[in-house]
Homo-oligomer: A and B are copies of this chain.
Amino acid sequence: MQNRALTKRGLSIGQLAERTGLSVSAIRHYESEGLVMSSRTPGGQRRFERSDIRRLSFVMIAQELGFSLAEIGVHLAQLPAGTAPDITAWNRMARGFRHDIDARIAGLELLRDRLDSCIGCGCLSLKKCALYNPRDRAKRFGTGPRYLRGDPVSVD
């Protein structure tokens, strides 16, 4: 099978995998999660658009930034599905995403600074420490169940 050629209107899942560096199974998974869509050949095989390369590249970048697939999906939902989004659509989306990134970084910096002034200062009392104010806690990254309680916590 040729690497470069488009398989008669559209990319096969294998070609898309090669272009993005993702595995075939990962792409199928992303499709099942609604991050990309595909049409089907009469035989039932997936065909993707060229613009899906960019879509999936965005997914990879956003993941590296610590966003979950669900969060990424929210942003991608702003782009037209099926057709190649134009510059305006991409830019609008990118701006919204950048906003989220900034918020995430700001949250990290805040926690870092608080850590500095609480544990780093040597007081060790942690009493009334800003770090333990649950209301201000930055949202956790990563996956898995997070049943962190919002209850006030007493620390010596």
* Chain multiplicity (copies): 2
A66 at the interface (CB under 8 A from B): yes
Would A50 and B156 count as touching, CB distance under 8 A?
Answer: yes
Alpha-carbon distance between A132 and B23 when the two chains are bound, in angstroms: 16
A30 at the interface (CB under 8 A from B): no
The DSSP consensus for interface residues of chain A is helix
A46 at the interface (CB under 8 A from B): no
Considering only CB atoms, which chain B residue lies closest to A91 in the complex?
B122
Contact residues in B for A95 (Cβ distance below 8 Å): 120
30 A-B contacts (beta carbon < 8 Å): A18-B154, A19-B153, A19-B154, A20-B153, A23-B147, A23-B149, A53-B155, A58-B119, A61-B115, A63-B140, A64-B137, A64-B138, A65-B111, A65-B138, A66-B140, A66-B142, A68-B142, A90-B122, A91-B120, A91-B122, A94-B116, A97-B115, A98-B115, A101-B108, A102-B112, A105-B112, A141-B142, A142-B142, A142-B143, A143-B143
